[in-house]
Structure 1
């Protein structure tokens, strides 16, 4: 197995103005919700600042003087402030989370829409798990930053500023004493940020290696077990797991040191305030109410600083996630549509390749000067060894990729002059490895196309020969299908894919080695379905079993990306070239199996 695991580079920044501005573009459509959340937060923070001051009034004006009745009346005001604060915080959190949900929905939709526009080359180079993470975990990380980071940070700054002003107004000497410790808090925060950033980046790197190894091991579990590699793989996993544990323990140590440091500065501040306030109270220059309020304010002042480590972690993770998401959204691996696409309501089905060259990587051509023509309604077969370039031809026909040189025409029009959607609307493909979606059988035939009725689905299934096995299922056409059709046989999945293709009524049909994985008994059923499906259509068959294409109108043989033979079955057999050798080899192999 490969020891190198691809991972996304992280900047380690907790704030990047460029990225933050871009995040805000997704919040702007919900600016009213965002502003409402900020205003409610400022109101809630203001009420929190007022609360200790009310305590000061209660102590000095009513409790010290023993004015019980006045205290009761004042208590209603105090209760009103507390109740208002609770209501404000409730609505602020509700609206903030509502904003977060709307933001996530919008960003996930942008990611999904962009993914659908990307070419297949992008998906061949990027693991599925990583792309799923972009639309789930990374989006959630940015949501955490908005709701628990940015909005909360605005409230913290407002509250700290308000407390600093109130402390000064209550008593200048004690306020200046408190301000002395602010540089210590700033220094502690900078030291924490420096080491937290390093451990965070290393933790993410080691987690990426652990996840990649785990995913690779699960995918290749059959190979691991067959070759008795369990102990060796376990040893590697233990090493990666221990590395991840070590960096996390280092991170825990940094966080564990930061919290007590802030609490230590807080307690020193309180001790000094109590020490100096004692003499002030004795000299009648400070009231007990002011002292009580001071203690409450100091606790409020240090609370957001205590929480700085969590907010920093949220901001750092969100910035890394944002960078990865925007890197994906900025990917330009898109097959562009023509600015002025040709409009064609009906396709005859003529297909023509003219001197087509194609390479997946630079000049490493997998197709070299390929030319052929398929007339409307013909059955056309493509033959060749594995890796000869057969499937690449179909990738170009569907415009999953564009040819490097030459051109491909449908009804004498270059396919680059059509909109991709218009091309694919007139074509259908049946693959060797059938992909079925989670849902029921009806959904897998209709694929969400409302124009295909239930009656049409059943008609297509009957024509193909799938109706018989579907009717034997417990829920018939409503039978749930698990991931990739795991509960169905290969032949049953293939029949459903035929019914799907027939339901979409394409003018051009591609069968990509559709019978390669079918047993001989099932093959006869599939052959009947294929004949029904190909009737009246331009049909292109990428053949694995040459016995299935004897009746094709024309056959080309691809070898190392070039067309080396062209003709009917009889003509190619007379040539006694590549096709003849492949056919005779398969015939002998079939006779051996029968014997």
Structure 2
């Protein structure tokens, strides 16, 4: 990005960031006023010492000591007040910073929740974690430290400059000659350090993504003995991050001594020309001492401003990443006049639906079918035929490109996504369980669902058969991803989760594909009860589990090849018949082998 564009982006980011400060602007202004008082008190010591030296030179002993004690008393009092004010200012700023961090984190998390499934699949989990956790801290630091230090440094420089001009215009002008050199060095430092920091942030984000993925997949790594490979990958990524930090350290190691060298040259110049004025009795030694001390204090903020500008760029970098997520528009958008679906009879209709994940690579081609209230529809076909995609479209995980999906005769695009999903229960093959109690995993923390309702759902689905044997029953803690339960037990918890919300439409996507026969029997018994009372859509690999469905839809490469009940399709001796015979043969051979 060119310099001009980068500058425009920084200005745009800064204005946007100020929006987070707006609700706290009165507290921020108060903190700046308090800070100004603290700065003034910090400039008292050199003036106090100059006054004491003058008194020691020109006054009698008794009078001198009384005046020194008086000045000392005022000085100590001002220091105590300054410490109290500085404490209040720090607390005030930190409170503002934490409120801003809270707001940004909440805003980012809420926005991530609104993103579509396809968008979340493209973003590494570690990257999103960094956006929610690390980047808001950088923005908080901008308001609590960076900006306030910049303002503090500028105020201090202005006050010191005014005092220096009052003391000696000639010496002040000599001091200002050094300013352009410091500004040039600071500009070069800021430019180089920004690139270094951006690299570090990118490496941290990449490392977080790598860790998130590999810690989740550690079981696979260990099964295939790939620990050495992953360790080497982690070493390389960590080394790149280490190099980034080393480069940043080197930049600071060069910058600080260079600035110190320039300021020391300034001090030497002041002492030389000031010494000549002392010899010529234009200045007193005490005033020269105070002037030199103030010059030191004048150069320190310049160095700090350079470093804070670099930190400000770091905050901009974090802000850009956060705004990149916040500006990511969900691919699934609700119409302004979208309606709330109060009731849902379970009537679903696909009319000439076309859909693709990648442009022109159609997953569904002109698919049409109608599911009437209370019917059980099953979808079968080879992998990639579009079975799961149909179920995903019904809950609006994706938008179709052509055609129409109707829910109780209403176009699905005209229904709010939340109200639609409120009436649909899903039981998927890949069950995700949270590191919480069984009670939480069934209710998902919904306070409107009572403990008794959770127990009823577990009893209805048969999940109680193993929950009641646990020491803490429904308060039993589920380990991450449910690793302390079998696949069948996880699926039963998922089944209870789907039922407790009392859905009008129940979706099962290969729900019994990878579970033990005992759990499958429990689930199948529950499904038989449900079939007579509500609409069900099932994707199943085992044809034996869908024989009692009202309709079976056979898909191949996104097209409907056949549709009918189990007996009708067998009599046709077409696609379904062939699938059935292949599976029947496999089951028979499996039993013979046993």
TM norm. shorter chain > 0.5: yes
Which residue matches 1:439?
A: 436
Check the 8 A contact 1:14/1:312 in 2, yes or no: no
Tell me how far 1:482 sits from its aligned partner.
2.3
Once the two structures are superposed, the pairs formed by residues 268-287 of structure 1 within 5 Å of their partners are 268-287=265-284
Structure 1 stretches of 4+ moved >6 Å: 11-15
Which residue matches 1:128?
A: 125
Tell me how far 1:364 sits from its aligned partner.
1.4
Partner deviation per Cα, 1:335-363 (whole Å, 9 max, x = no partner): 22232233443211111111111111222
Which residue matches 1:573?
A: 570
Quick check: 44-53 or 311-320, which moved more? 44-53
Distance across 1 between alignment mates of 2:54 and 2:459: 90
Check the 8 A contact 1:440/1:477 in 2, yes or no: yes
Which residue matches 1:172?
A: 169
Task: Give the 3-state SS of the residue equivalent to 2:337 in structure 1.
Answer: coil
Once the two structures are superposed, the pairs formed by residues 50-199 of structure 1 within 5 Å of their partners are 50-61=44-55, 65=59, 66=61, 67-199=64-196
Check the 8 A contact 1:62/1:70 in 2, yes or no: no
Task: Give the 3-state SS of the residue equivalent to 1:197 in structure 2.
Answer: helix
Change (3 A) 1:44 1:531: farther
Which residue matches 2:397?
A: 400
Distance across 2 between alignment mates of 1:523 and 1:433: 15
Check the 8 A contact 2:127/2:208 in 1, yes or no: no
Tell me how far 1:18 sits from its aligned partner.
0.9
Distance across 2 between alignment mates of 1:15 and 1:37: 28
| Residue of 264, 267, 271 corresponding to 2:261 | 264
Distance across 2 between alignment mates of 1:525 and 1:510: 17
Check the 8 A contact 1:390/1:558 in 2, yes or no: yes
Change (3 A) 1:463 1:203: closer
Tell me how far 1:228 sits from its aligned partner.
5.8
Tell me how far 1:389 sits from its aligned partner.
0.8
Tell me how far 1:189 sits from its aligned partner.
0.8
Change (3 A) 1:101 1:232: closer
Tell me how far 1:296 sits from its aligned partner.
2.8
RMSD: 2.4
Change (3 A) 1:353 1:64: farther
Check the 8 A contact 2:552/2:563 in 1, yes or no: yes
Distance across 2 between alignment mates of 1:340 and 1:508: 24
Distance across 1 between alignment mates of 2:338 and 2:209: 43
Change (3 A) 1:398 1:240: closer
Distance across 1 between alignment mates of 2:25 and 2:580: 68
Partner deviation per Cα, 1:345-394 (whole Å, 9 max, x = no partner): 32111111111111112221101111111111111111111111111111
Once the two structures are superposed, the pairs formed by residues 284-303 of structure 1 within 5 Å of their partners are 284-303=281-300
| Residue of 411, 417, 437 corresponding to 1:420 | 417
Which residue matches 2:20?
A: 26
Tell me how far 1:50 sits from its aligned partner.
3.7
Check the 8 A contact 1:63/1:71 in 2, yes or no: no
Which residue matches 1:252?
A: 249
Check the 8 A contact 2:190/2:307 in 1, yes or no: no
Change (3 A) 1:227 1:354: same
Change (3 A) 1:217 1:93: same
Task: Give the 3-state SS of the residue equivalent to 1:380 in structure 2.
Answer: strand
Distance across 1 between alignment mates of 2:102 and 2:203: 30
Task: Give the 3-state SS of the residue equivalent to 1:307 in structure 2.
Answer: helix
The count of residues paired between Structure 1 and Structure 2 equals 585
Q: Does 1:332 align with 2:329?
A: yes
Gaps of 5+ in 2: none
Change (3 A) 1:247 1:327: closer
Change (3 A) 1:14 1:337: closer
Partner deviation per Cα, 1:98-140 (whole Å, 9 max, x = no partner): 1111111111122122222222121122112212211111111
Which residue matches 1:48?
A: 42
Which residue matches 2:376?
A: 379
Partner deviation per Cα, 1:226-278 (whole Å, 9 max, x = no partner): 66665566555555554444444333222111111111122222223333333
Quick check: 228-237 or 345-354, which moved more? 228-237
Task: Give the 3-state SS of the residue equivalent to 1:435 in structure 2.
Answer: coil
Once the two structures are superposed, the pairs formed by residues 456-467 of structure 1 within 5 Å of their partners are 456-467=453-464
Distance across 2 between alignment mates of 1:130 and 1:217: 14
Change (3 A) 1:127 1:289: same
Tell me how far 1:591 sits from its aligned partner.
2.8
